């Protein structure tokens, strides 16, 4: 696009890919190592804080007290952060 004095106007956008786009080089890695909550090593990387554990306990109790239709939860007996 040009303006009246023949100066070229360009759209200055970044050439980086958006965060949600996976390049063709990485697609096989994404498919091979898809996220699986039962086999994820992320669970054990951080120790939950006392506030986090209290909130999880409160939320589980709330669901048991007033269950939503069609919702069923079971927490791991050894680690209540795994629901």
In a domain, 64, yes or no: yes
In a domain, 28, yes or no: no
Which tens digit of pLDDT belongs to each residue from 27-79?
555 555 566 766 777 767 788 899 999 999 999 999 999 988 998 888 888 88
Residue 13's φ and ψ, nearest 5 degrees, are -105, 150
CA atoms within 13 A on the CB side of 65: 6
| Model confidence at 81: pLDDT above 70 | yes
- Per the structure, the count of domains in the chain is 1
In a domain, 83, yes or no: yes
Give how far Cα 38 sits from Cα of 8, 32, 42, 57, 82, Å.
55, 16, 10, 21, 9
Q: What confidence score (pLDDT) does residue 2 get?
A: 47
Domain that holds residue 80: 43-83
pTM exceeds 0.75 for this model: no
Q: What confidence score (pLDDT) does residue 53 get?
A: 93
* DSSP of 19-80: TT---HHHHHHHHHT---TTS-GGGGSSPPPHHHHHHHHHHHHHHHHSPPTT------SS-T
């Amino acid at each position: 696009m040009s303006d009246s004095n023949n100066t070229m106007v360009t759209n200055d956008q970044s050439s980086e890919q958006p965060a949600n786009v996976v390049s063709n080089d990485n697609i096989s890695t994404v498919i091979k190592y898809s996220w699986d909550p039962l086999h994820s090593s992320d669970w054990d990387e951080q120790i939950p804080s006392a506030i986090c554990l209290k909130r999880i306990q409160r939320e589980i109790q709330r669901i048991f007290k007033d269950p939503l239709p069609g919702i069923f939860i079971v927490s791991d007996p050894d680690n209540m952060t795994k629901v």
